[in-house]
Amino acid sequence: MRRSRLKHVGVATLLLLGSWTASGTLPAAAADSPTAAKAPSASTGLLKAMQQDFGLTLAQAEDRIAAERRATKIAPEAQRAAGDAFGGSWFDAGRERLTVAVTSAASPATRRAVRATGAQVRTVEHSARKLDAVKTRIDRLDAPTGVSGWHVDPAANTVVVDVVSGKRADNDVQRFVKRARETGPVEVRTVATAPRTFAAGTVGGDPYYTGNVRCSIGFSVHGGFITAGHCGKAGAAVSGWDRSPIGTFQGSSFPDNDYAWVSVGNGWWTVPVVIGWGTVSDQLVRGSAEAPIGASICRSGSTSHWHCGAVLAKNETVNYSEGAVHQMTKTSVCAEPGDSGGSFISGDQAQGVTSGGWGNCSSGGETWFQPVNEILNRYGLTLHTA
């Protein structure tokens, strides 16, 4: 019943699913029409997931979502108000407010202007421009496999270099850390294991396939969908959960980046939806406003389905065994093989496509995604929104 019903809608669901999962199967319960009804951005299912994954009450979940929307809205204005003194920003979940760091060079007028946006102000030593320059210099270094990645941590006001547990004494790691510290303010932290991508070999279920690799669709764009670059190379054919042809990879980049886009045809169409897998209601996509560090975020994928967490870092360089990938966003959301390319969403705003990480959804872990706006700009695509 389900498969025959999805023969035509499958593409719609797949595509809509493609709006958030770049490496996986088609959701089990797809919409029967490519036209979805408007739904509140904070659905009952989403609030339930927030309660489960963050240990919140219903009222706390509602308050947090509302506070994150405010923080997302004022973040660009607060950065402009800070000017050259801007040291980064993040969402303070405890106070439910955006925090904006400014250097000691910020004038009283600048501080007042930042506070006038609704943000709270913290004084730091280094500007965001300086920290970004340090990270860029580290990007030019050749990283050994014992170094899992590096990123700017605005709350700590430093560049963090993550080293795999048990590898700090490795000679290559020590040399890399020494050279990294010579570039500017750097803090070394230890992580459990090295990151990996989340593509998977062919398994049963509702997948999209490239050869014998299963990946989940990310987000629908006009003319196709975006997904992870490691799921397929330009020119590779893509088939749906039922093995019927969908389209072709029109562009793909991995490593250095981890993004791609697939054209859609053969009776398939796109819809602005991320599937909730029965955990939450299917989520409409209404835009791609970037959530700040500290904000809650959820991920949908064909293997582990729907899980939530928080944004931990932005513009991180992740050092996979295949090579470094830049400008990634780090999250506390778990993922598993087959989830690659799947959608990351905050409220009703698309955030990015699943790349890789470490751990699983039984014991926990961390996952990185490639930001959606970078992908849209790279290929000149337009997000399909409700």
Identify whether 156 is part of a domain: yes
H or E segment at 354? strand 349-360
Domain membership of residue 158 as a residue range: 128-194
Question: In this structure, is residue 183 part of a structural domain?
Answer: yes
Active-site residue, 242 included:
no
Residue 376 lies in a domain: no
Look at residue 236 and tell me if it is in a domain. Answer: no
What's the mean pLDDT when you consider all of the chain? 86
Alpha carbons 278 and 259: distance in angstroms, whole number: 27
Burial of residue 109, with CB atoms counted within 10 A of its CB: 0-12 exposed, 13-18 middle, 19 or more buried: exposed
pLDDT classification of 218: cutoffs 50, 70, 90: very high
pLDDT for 242 equals 74
- The per-residue pLDDT for 243 is 79
Residue 170 maps to a domain = yes
Q: What is the DSSP string of 97-156?
A: EEEEEEETT--HHHHHHHHHTT-EEEEESS-HHHHHHHHHHHHTS---TTEEEEEEETTT
Q: What is the pTM of this model?
A: 0.78
Radius of gyration for the alpha carbons in the chain, expressed in angstroms and rounded: 20
Q: Where does the pLDDT of residue 30 fall: very low under 50, low under 70, confident under 90, or very high at 90 and above?
A: very low
- Other Cβ atoms within 10 Å of 297 Cβ, number: 25
Looking at residue 47, its pLDDT comes to 84
Name the residue with tokens 């490519």: 34
Residue type, 73: K
| Predicted pLDDT at 254 | 98
Q: Which member of 126, 151, 230, 305 is catalytic? A: 230
Catalytic residue among 92, 162, 206, 258: 258
9 closest CA partner among 230, 242, 281, 327: 242
Count: domains in the chain = 1
Report the distance separating Cα 15 and Cα 205, nearest Å.
16
The CATH number covering residue 134 comes to 3.30.300.50
- Whether 185 is in a domain gets the answer yes
Residue 143 in domain = yes
Q: Of the segments 25-29, 113-117, 205-209, 236-240, which one has the largest average pLDDT value?
A: 113-117
* Model confidence at 35: pLDDT above 50: no
Cα distance from N-terminal residue to C-terminal residue, the chain = 28
Q: Is 340 a catalytic residue?
A: yes
Q: What is the pLDDT of residues 280-319, one digit of tens each?
A: 888 889 999 999 999 999 999 999 999 999 999 999 999 9
- Burial category of 248 from C-beta neighbours within 10 Å (exposed 0-12, middle 13-18, buried 19 and up): middle
140: Cβ–Cβ under 8 A, 6 or more apart, which residues? none
Is 230 catalytic? The answer is yes
Q: Sort 344 into a burial class: Cβ within 10 Å, 0-12 / 13-18 / 19+.
A: buried
Q: Say which residue, 183 or 37, is predicted with more confidence.
A: 183
Is residue 126 pLDDT above 90, yes or no?
yes
Residue 354 lies in a domain: no
Both tokens assigned to 149? 């990645």
pLDDT tens per residue across span 253-262: 999 999 999 9
Question: Measuring CA to CA, how many Å separate 289 from each of 29, 186, 215, 316, 350?
Answer: 28, 29, 25, 19, 7
The residue from 89, 253, 302, 340 that is catalytic is: 340
Kindly state the tokens that stand for 334.
């778990």
Residue 281's contacts (CB-CB under 8 Å, 6 or more residues apart) are 39, 43, 44, 45, 46
